[in-house]
Amino acid sequence: MAFGRLERTPGTQPMSEINVTPLVDVMLVLVVIFILTAPLLASSIRLELPRAEGAQPGTPAHAVMLVVDTAGQAYLDDEPVGADALAQRLRQIAAEAPDTEVQLRADTAVPYGRVVEVMGAAHAAGLQRIGFVTQPTDGAVQGTQK
């Protein structure tokens, strides 16, 4: 018997490459999730807008979103503001761009008097263009009326 060196077959070599397929799959799923949820985050204030028939308005060059929720709390561009702060911010906006349109979104449960107070604050600040945002009725088709 020979006590020589035994031939050994080389084993499998460790993989030196990173498999990026799972990483790409996870990233694509995250992109799809962000694409689907981004439109839902446009306004975080839950409102039941009144329904009305009519054509869809165009987007003005300068617009500010003024929201009044069911409790009567005013929000300017999704930030809660008190009566004094609202008047001051509206005056500041009017000074910067007097042709700014105020897009008023008020819940159907808000008393008419509260809506008039908010409109009066906008007029007193010098903003004359006020648009009322509503939801289209179920039977209405965009751009046409019954």
Q: Note the pLDDT tens digit of each residue in 75-118.
A: 998 889 998 999 999 999 999 988 888 989 888 888 888 889 99
Residue 143 in this model has a pLDDT that exceeds 60: no
Q: Are 134 and 107 in contact (CB under 8 A)?
A: no
CA atoms within 13 A on the CB side of 95: 6
Instruction: List the domains of the chain with CATH numbers.
Output: 74-136 (3.30.420)
Residue from 63, 61, 69, 57 nearest 105 by CA: 69
pLDDT attached to residue 145: 40
